[in-house]
Structure 1
């Protein structure tokens, strides 16, 4: 079993200061590629044993951040610590981390057991200990009987498990995962999400995971860091990210949501009442500094939009589609279009007049974008 306090075999970390130190710390880290700033003044602290996901669209800086932690890139400025030790002058191969990529990079001419034990062999670990650790890791990955096969003889999911075993057998303090499920089909990807969560729970190693897939992040993570344009938009638990997004970007990126526009009519502490025109008034929480009369954006989850018969033309059904266990209805109201998720069997024909009701404590209100 992995000891999360150990470093790479043959290269243990040392010199950590007395007292508590995070698994990974980034302080004011900036990385530029020519004129392009990939990450700017990034501060991040990852605690021991956490499953943290860096989430965001392409170009947001999440993969650059992972590569900086792994030592594949050097920051233009800032400090990166792992286990309390400054990594500034330490190359990738001497850092107490291992990385799993989307392309597993298994050696095709080696057996599965030889692939898993490759790092141990080159670290000078004895044959007997290597065999023991490889066997333990393959059992953890639930592939104990494929050790003599070549990678080409395995399924995509099995190859993924071999890549994880090869990384974790080295007992890294931190495991970096760069979109490792991206090459798998949907059903296998869902299965591996649960497997990764189980593996993380059993080994206790800090996982830092990169993805653009919000469902992966919500399913597996203890904590999610949402990034955009090289900055952190929000750093919180999956539930907090979903129920209480700090920005309109996070609200729009995480889960399905409707972003509609309105005018503030009343502010009471962190609660704003907003006039949405034909949609009526609605109340929601806000962390922005707002005043009566301000134009705002309001985030409403489709699951919180209730569709009722009737209405005097205030809302008109445009279309509806079956999405597994529910129906997604597209509804026009004035200049706004909203989507509602309703139970199967409660659909309305296109052109039907309906009444919309929103009843939720997850409504979020954000200041309007500049120029809006």
Structure 2
């Protein structure tokens, strides 16, 4: 029986800024963009969220919802330093740590002897240590697997704890909306709802051929998650799946040649990031599988064109850019991104009992 904790820092970037400047604590703030230039919100504090501001929202839209929003450019060096502090705290409890980003991670504490092996008390102590040593709050979910632990960490945000014991798994997932399952986006949730499938309990009575026909490979995940099943192990070694750079433009680009020029500026940026990653142990073992170009248009549609075995050279990237450009439907281009995908080794799935 596994004991998994998912730790998720509360509005991490914004929380660091509020910690360092208490005057920001009770006013709406967001990290990302500016009033003079376009961009997207990286994160925001809870006063801003009360106005409907959310992560990944265009800055212009956020300012319409909250005109008095305080925008901060952010300080990645400061956030990374806080993240290292937090990960050092994790390491006191277990070596089995899977970071998902600077502000969240899975911890497998199955074999941790502290607090007589109580995952609940371990999670409480982790949260207490984080607050005492960094001045930041964290929310935690405790469950028998990664999927449920991540769902649980969002139940009592901010600064909360939710525990799903093995005996509670069945009753918990039955009431869980399908839209909260990994891989179920807005469009998939709408298709599920049209079939009368809104909660995990509904999947149990749905004909398997129907699920396979409607959702293909996602059907297997829907069936497992709706029963609370997730056999994925916590992976201590980080294996990056992709690497990319992108630029939100000050003005929409209306000419193809302007996109080529921007792409030529992004290419050396990506190459520097790749060189840095290649110098790490994981990077030396991870070959490039594909290269892709992303365009976001004036109407906020976006498209990505990818090709396997593609060299990271401008002349080889232009056919991908041209294909993406043809999809613009007379719209301008507001964002250009360049990304590479790595080959990742398939992880052995462990079938462990609850």
With the length of structure 2 as denominator, give the TM-score of the two structures.
0.26
With the length of structure 1 as denominator, give the TM-score of the two structures.
0.25
User: Rg larger in 1 or in 2?
Assistant: 1
Which structure: greater helix fraction?
2
